[in-house]
Amino acid sequence: MAEIDKIAAELRPRSGKSSARAARRAGQIPGVLYGGEGPPLAIALNRRELDRELAKGRFSTRLLDLEVDGKVERVLPREVQFHVVTDQPLHADFMRLTAGASVTVMVPVHFVNEVDSPGIKLGGVLNVVRHRVEFRCRADQIPEFITVDLAGRAIGDSIHISAVKLPEGVTPTITDRDFTIATIAAPTLKLEIETPAAAAVTPEAAAAATPAPAAPGKG
C-alpha cells in the first residue's frame, strides 16, 4: 500500500457560512470531518497544504492521516468544492474510516496501448464515456486506477466493464448491466464549406417556421 500522507487541520469553533467565510478570510479552507464513531467536526485546513495534496492527484481515492488538534485520524476525502470561476478550493469533506470499512469510491480509468489500436491509427477518437468508475471495496484496497487495454480495438468498438480486469475485492456498484467505459468513434470534425442557403437562415425565418402560439390561458 502506498505511503499515507499527513495533513493538519484546526477545529473551527462554529459551523455555518460565517465561520466558513472567516476561515477563508484567514487563508484557510473550511471543511468537515464526519463518519466513524466520533461526532462531526467543523475544521479548517491550511490552503497551501490542501493545494499540495490536490496537485498530487487522486485526491478522492487516497487515504490521508488528518491531524485535528493533535489527534490523528485515518480519513478518506469525500468531496472538494471549487469556485466555479477561479477554480480555487472552497470546502473539503473528509470521512473517518474504521478498521475494515468498505467504501464506495470513484476510481479513475487509464487507457493503455493506444498505438496498438487499429481504430485510433486510422484516425478514430477514443471517446471516453466514463472517466471514472464507481466501485465498492475495502478502504485499504482502493485501486489507484483501472487499466483499459486498447490493443486491437477498431473504429466502432465499445469497451465494457466486463473487458476490464479488476483487482480482487473490487466490485462495480452498477451490477444490472455491462456498462460502457469507452468507445472508439470516427472523427466528427469536418472543415465545412458554408453553403449560401445555410447562411441565409435568420431568426426571422425560424420565427416564420414556428406555429402560431397557443391562446394565452390565465390561471
Partner 1 sequence: MLQPNRTKYRKAFKGRIHGNAKGATSLNFGAFGLKAMEPERVSARQLEAARRAIVRHMKRQGKMWIRVFPDVPVSKKPTEVRMGKGKGTPELWVVRVKPGRILFELDGVSPAVAKEACELGAAKLPIACKFIVRPTEA
Interaction site with partner 1 (CB under 8 A): 54, 57-58, 83-85, 87, 108, 110, 123, 125-128, 131-132, 144-145, 185, 187-191, 198, 201-204, 206-207, 209-211, 213
Q: Which is nearer to partner 1, 99 or 188 (CB)?
A: 188
- Shortest spacing between CB 164 and partner 1, in angstroms: 16
In this structure, what C-alpha cell is assigned to residue 29? 479552507
Q: Which is nearer to partner 1, 99 or 200 (CB)?
A: 200
Q: Which residue has the cell 464515456?
A: 129
- Shortest spacing between CB 26 and partner 1, in angstroms: 23
Q: Which is nearer to partner 1, 6 or 131 (CB)?
A: 131
Q: Which amino acid is at 142?
A: I
**CA neighbor of 150 nearest in space, from 112, 179, 123:** 112
- Shortest spacing between CB 31 and partner 1, in angstroms: 18
- Shortest spacing between CB 43 and partner 1, in angstroms: 23
Cβ count near 21 (within 10 Å): 11
Alpha-carbon span 98 to 36, nearest angstrom: 6
